[in-house]
Chains A and B, each alone.
Chain A
Amino acid sequence: MMKSAPLISFVILALMGLMLDQFLNPYLQRTMALVLVNIILAMSLNLVNGYTGQFSLGHAGFMAIGAYTSAYLSTHWVAPAAIVPHLLFFIFYSLVSGCFAAIAGWLVGQPSLRLKGDYLAIVTLGFGEIIRVIILNSSALGGARGYFGIPGPSPISFGGLALNAFYSFYLVAILWVLTCFFVIYRTISSTHGRAFMSIREDEIAADSLGIHTTRVKVKSFVLSSFFAGVAGSLFSHCMNFIAPSTFSMLMSINVVIMVVLGGMGSMTGPILAAVIISVLPEALRPLQELTGQDYRMVIYSLILIVLMLVRPQGLLGHKEIWNFWRKTRVE
């Protein structure tokens, strides 16, 4: 992999964003923003559930920690915009949010990653609920009413071109999407990533080779919760309002669906699934107007069931999207 690939892809995506900023209506832009947040969530959970083979159901909890950290920071510690560029502050907020979530990930991971399979799933599920209930009962974070008035990045202008606030958010978001992608992609093709996968394949064998399996699992878990926290931070700045009910078990399950649907242990599979799952409910909206009744969730669930029956290994399985391209080119 080229060393400059992250920079090149950032430039390309940033230029594409200029078009999105000018030609998409605000509704589609908001959907697009959520797609980016979901991509980070799916990629990071895939690290634990797909590559390391540990079933975590607490992703919404880490996301909540990130979201509330960022919300609190951005409302209580406002940037002196004159000195430091506004955008840098949002990057800083998400970085701090990620770190908080990573610390939580470490604390949860230390004891619980000694557990296996179903037990781990239940512990992480419990953790997610604990976080939600704590937030629900703390007045400083708005309690059940939610947290209002979270600022988003303000619009920037680019030469003569006046851009929307969406573009500022978009820049921060793709910065993190690419960071998440390249960190995970590079890690899995190094000894650290191989250690993650060895645990998925056979933990006893990994142990017998001198791999400190608990520490490796915690490492994967911490990295995953860091990016979940970042995604939470982006989510709060995109929605401008967050409430504990957003980060319920359903949110965690939704991310698990993205990973399973996309293919556990594929880099691009969960990204594809994240796009599909975020866009599908919106794309089915016209149907609601047509029939007068909300059949969206029925159809959405049906599509999921059919997909899992047809491709139980997920859309891409263990493969990457470019593996399919190459194959068709050869044939």
Chain B
Amino acid sequence: MSNNKLLEIKEISIQFGGLKAVDRFSMDLESGELAGLIGPNGAGKTTVFNLLTGVYSPQTGSIDLEGQPIHRKKTFEISRLGIARTFQNIRLFKDLSVLDNILLGQHHRTQYGIWQVVLQTPGFQREEAQKKEEALELLKIFNLEKKQSAPAGALPYGEQRKLEILRALATKPKLLLLDEPAAGMNHSETTGLMEIISMIRERFNLTILLIEHDMKFVMKICEKIHVLDHGVKIAEGIPSYIQNHAEVIKAYLGTDEELH
């Protein structure tokens, strides 16, 4: 099993001004694993995602994807190596159509050049048609194919979240980072989302790391949970272990002393 390591984070830190947003954080992800990253507000969870995707580069430590260091790479390079993400506050291309959003996920795998487009060569038309077909296949997962030409910004909130996941999948990632996928969803939508996450994980052979505040959701779906507080990892383990971990409870609820 230990040879199956997809991602290896070693002691990464980043400091903004005087604030240590992430402090010597380490984490391993096995290939095919579904892990959760939890912690109170401002614990540095999204910062970890930003470090993983190259939005920030860590000031110390290293990140290896399949044994290859990625912590000095740029965001688009990391994406091409197989890490895709969604955002806490949805970042769709709102004025573009639902289909175009997905097609943009396939952009870097598209071969044809501008000349082929200008001359409308058969090669361009073939590839464009094929990419559209692939995109429609993806849209079918969430039954969004009927809305393919609507602007993404016009979709209801829940569907926007789903579309963002699909757009990330269109990049053909190995590792999918979901930043609060269930935020703003009601109970039945959340249940549906759980099924969908399990399903796409099977179907696309994915490793998934997710940030979520909905504890029921996290405890039910994740195989392993990492807990962050003030940028420091305070616990790691299976859900039942985390649920009874004294320090985790302290981080979430505070201690008696702090109340006085």
Contacts and interface: CB of A to CB of B under 8 A. Distances in A.
Interface stretch (B14-22, B96-104, B208-216, B241-249): B96-104
Nearest to B151: A318
Contacts of B170: 209
Chain B CB within 10 A, most for which of A192, A213, A219: A192
A208 interface: yes
Interface string B83-101: 0110100011111100010
A190 B107 contact: no
A186 B76 contact: no
Contact of A208 (B75, B103, B110): B75
Contacts of B112: 190-191
Interface residues of A, number: 29
Nearest to A318: B95
Contacts of A297: none
Nearest to B127: A191
A201 interface: yes
Contacts of A213: 76
A79 to B, nearest CB: 27
A3 B124 CA distance: 13
A197 interface: yes
A142 B250 CA distance: 79
A205 B118 contact: no
B63 to A, nearest CB: 16
A317 to B, nearest CB: 11
Contacts of A24: none
Nearest to B170: A209
Contact of B104 (A182, A198, A212): A198
Interface string B64-86: 00000000001111011000110
A228 B92 CA distance: 32
Contact of B117 (A190, A209, A210): A190
A195 B114 CA distance: 12
Nearest to B91: A205
A194 to B, nearest CB: 5
B93 A202 contact: yes
B171 interface: yes
B203 to A, nearest CB: 20
Contacts of A115: none
B118 A211 contact: no
Given A209-B79, A209-B167, A210-B80, A195 B95 contact: no
Given A190-B112, A191-B128, A202-B92, 6 more contacts: A191-B106, A197-B95, A202-B91, A205-B87, A207-B79, A209-B167
Interface of A: 1, 3, 182-183, 186-187, 190-192, 194-195, 197-198, 201-202, 204-213, 219, 223, 265, 318
